[in-house]
Amino acid sequence: MKLPIRFVATVCFLTATALFGAERAPANRAVGENKATPPSRIKAAPGFNVELLYSVPSDSQGSWVNLCTDPKGRIIASDQYGGLYRFAPPAPGQALDPSKVEKMPAEIRAANGLLWAFGALYVGVNDYEKKIPSGVYRITSSKGDDQLDKVELLRAIKAGGDHGVHAILPGPDGKSLFLISGNNADLTEINSSRVPLVWGEDHVLYRMPDGRGHNRDRLAPGGIIYKFSPDGKTWEVYSTGFRNIFDGAFNRDGELFTYDADMEYDFNTSWYRPTRINHVTSGSEYGWRNGAGKRPEFYPDNLPAALNIGPGSPTGVTFGYGAKFPAKYQNALFALDWSWGKLYAVHLQPKGSSYTATKEEFLSGGPLPLTDAIIHPGDGAMYFAIGGRKVQSGFYRVTYTGKESTAPVKATVSSGAKERKFRHELETFHGKVDPNALKVAWPELDNKDRFIRWAARTAIEHQPAATWADRALAEKNPARQVEALMALTRVAGIDPLHRKPSDAPVDKVMGAKILDALAKLNWKKLGHEQRLTLVRTYEICFVRFGRPDDAVIKRILAQLDPQFPASSFDLNWLLCETLAYLQSPTVASKAIAMIKSAPGQEEQLEYARSLRFLKTGWTTALRTEQFEWFLKAANYRGGASFEKFLEFIRTDAEATLTSEEKTALQSVLAKKPEKKSPLAQMAEVFAGRTTTTDWKLDTLAPAVERGLKKRSFENGRKMFAAAGCFACHRFGNEGGMTGPDLTGAAGRYSSRDFLDQILNPSKEINEQFVPMVITKNDGETVTGVIVNLNGNDVMVNTDPANPFQQETIDRTKVKSIEASKTSPMPEGLLGLLTEEEIRDLTAYVLSGGNRKSAMFK
């Protein structure tokens, strides 16, 4: 639903003033107050009412980050740097009486996970200050008098910073517990693992660590989800490859979901991955690696997200089961975002043995640092907390007051039950040796369902390789064989970065056999996903068994070189980096041509990253184009580490130059980049066009609408980049994050509405991106979007094309805040485009980037 700009601006204005403390305050009065954001300044879905029940006194009760209920219906809350508090929720319409908030006697602190189960309170401790060990604790009453005072450490886990020990979940079997941990929590001692213990970095080209040093020493397996026994004695790895998951929840089907973090420093790079909802299955891997090493979703050695959301900082997750809400919200997965202040309702739809999903903003503030949410089993209300990092904390209740029925939704078997049941049968072979595993799993290696295929390969990887290696090498079905060869490569070889002194030497003979089998596969008989698996298996084989000899390389090049370039970016990504590793004599000219034709900076960056170690196939002209691209890329925008990554790529590329090449390229190597504004860059693209058109909506919209047939997909994508859209807007897997995501624009806009947004950007500003004009007590003003906070410090993004152009403001020194009436999106973006180009651009966006759309030729 579209909202009038006046309403949107009012919402953002009020939520911003809530953050800073007052709409207008005399210069001699401090603005910051110990009050949480009032409900009037929080936007909720239609029909829902939000109550502020309690503003947490920070000096005595800290900042709350986790919630749970006990058997008596009381709520337990934890202070991120302190202890636990217990209270009964107040009656409808009433605030929480501060005298009723009880400090619990348990000597424990820094709880990031709370769960009442098996007659005890289980606590996940992540102590930043290291006053007590991080890990899993169990708290009970030593006297049976309802006072939780007995604290037992069930398992200490070494962890550091934010990305440590987090939520504890009840297992769907009623007999187990699950622990959520981030990528800075070390792997604890385990009894078994559903994930095969063969993980590695598997970078065929040297990984670029983060340019600012973040997590550069953290290796696989990344964040881990464990399954453990209530007594804390038996531990099993359930899933790996996460960045910083904070919470998780099981649905009625017994399937686990979590909300994982992005890496903001990586905005606008090819390897950036948005925050995302993951369907977490047995033995799964989700591909986090440090720096530029994160695995894209199309890599077959990790699983994809159910839903990509965008920038944020994931915290609590819960299903709406038991809520007195309309049916769709009872079934929704609620996911909380701390930094952008969003509480999403994620609606899952079964698809095969997994799920797809859509999201809606259930409630939001600007920002509202959401930490955790629960559905109370007694009154059916949602309760949530804001806080964390010592910011002002608050406790809220959400109830439904609309007209739709809130009758409990009956638990029914959802579609996909047959497929999920079969996947579960395959998963029974995870983590153990079973003589029946091969018989059941092998035929499913070519299953069209990616999650079933994953479960089958994982089952096989848990069996002794000697029992199935020959079968993999001789398999006649190419789709099954390529999956089996990936399994064999993973279990027979060990990534050098994960080798231990006790490991047996790598079996070079087996490596040669695998390469021989891969080279015999007929490219034409493989589908798209199998081709990705083939090329990726080559990469893993090179990493784990070493570089093959020249004769084998020649044979591989004969197989792969003709396939590059392919028709899709994902396959080009894999082919380009693999051919560059093999020093293909043709890849330089092909990849430079791809860089020149790719409209988005992410695709260009990926090819440039692959070419940085290439020494063969260069001419002076190609080398010149390679280094001229760095001058162009200096004007690209991205996260905090973007410029460092560009520097790394160029440094590596320069290191491959011969002395003769350095002499020939002396002039281009000496050039310094010229910084240009996005509009100046746009003018450069349309150099030679001397006139601009003052397009009017009433004339342009009908003309474009009539012409949305036989359009050019490639030119539409080119115009999307030329008009500067990628700088701020996400589209598919490319683009910035400081403007609305346009991937689903077809579901929101007609062609007329879409053009109206471009021609009249200030007519209606998306509420999430309304800039605020902040006036300090000394008269200085700052205009931008609030993106983060820490204590009294508020970070404001002042340049939408540069997500890390930020200014820090002390909220206690702010005089006034007003919503800007001017959109950060400039006017005149279509002025240099012809009518035909605007038609192509409109078709590209409204097709969702689908080249098979009926709008294209």
- Per-residue pLDDT tens digits for 613-625: 999 999 999 999 9
Q: What is the pLDDT of residue 87?
A: 98
Residue 221: cis peptide before it, omega within 30 degrees of 0: yes
Indicate whether 347 pLDDT > 50: yes
Tell me the DSSP string of 166-191: EEEEE-TTSS-EEEEE-TTBPPPP-S
Helix axes 478-492, 508-520, angle to 10 degrees: 160
DSSP character at residue 306? S
Q: Which two tokens stand for residue 300?
A: 């077959």
- What is the DSSP secondary-structure string of 51-85? EEEEEE-HHHH--EEEEEE-TTS-EEEEETTS-EE
Question: At residue 19, does pLDDT exceed 80?
Answer: no
Higher pLDDT, 389 or 57: 57
Residue 823 contacts residue 761 (beta carbons within 8 Å): yes
Assigned token pair, 433: 């040796």
Tell me: pLDDT of 814 over 90. Answer: no
Write out pLDDT tens, residues 396-447. Answer: 999 999 999 999 998 887 899 999 999 999 999 999 999 999 999 999 999 9
Model confidence pLDDT, tens digit, residues 558-607: 999 999 999 999 999 999 999 999 999 999 999 999 999 998 899 999 99
Q: What is the pLDDT of residue 223?
A: 98
Mean pLDDT of the chain: 89
The pLDDT of residue 684: 63
Q: What is the pLDDT of residues 696-720, one digit of tens each?
A: 889 888 888 888 888 988 888 888 8
| pLDDT(13) > 70 | no
**Residue 136 pLDDT > 80, yes or no?**
yes
Average pLDDT over residues 484-489: 98
Q: pLDDT at residue 488 above 80?
A: yes
Mean pLDDT for the stretch of residues 496-518: 92
Residue 30 in this model has a pLDDT that exceeds 70: no
When mean pLDDT is compared across 375-379, 449-453, 815-819, the lowest value belongs to: 815-819
Residue 445 CB contacts under 8 Å (≥ 6 apart), including other chains: 453, 456, 457, 460, 479, 480, 483, 484
Enter the pTM of the model. Answer: 0.85
pLDDT digits (tens, 9 = 90+) for 283-312: 999 999 999 999 999 999 999 999 999 888
pLDDT at 848: 82
Residues 485-512: what's their mean pLDDT?
A: 92
Residues sharing a CB contact under 8 Å with residue 43, sequence separation 6 or more, in sequence order: 11, 15, 361, 363, 364, 365, 767
Output the pLDDT for position 14. Answer: 36
Q: Which tens digit of pLDDT belongs to each residue from 513-565?
A: 999 999 999 999 999 999 999 999 999 999 999 999 999 999 999 999 999 99
Q: What would the DSSP string read from start to end of 620-654?
A: HHHHHHHHHHHHHHTT---STTHHHHHHHHHHHHH
Percent of the chain with pLDDT over 70: 90
pLDDT tens digits for 762-808? Answer: 776 665 566 778 888 888 888 877 666 666 777 787 776 566 677 88
Does 25 have pLDDT greater than 80?
Answer: no
What is the per-residue pLDDT for 790?
Answer: 67
Checking if the pLDDT of 727 tops 90, the result is no
**What is the C-alpha to C-alpha distance for residues 198 and 205, in angstroms, rounded to an integer?**
20
Which tens digits make up the pLDDT trace of 325-343?
999 999 999 999 998 889 9
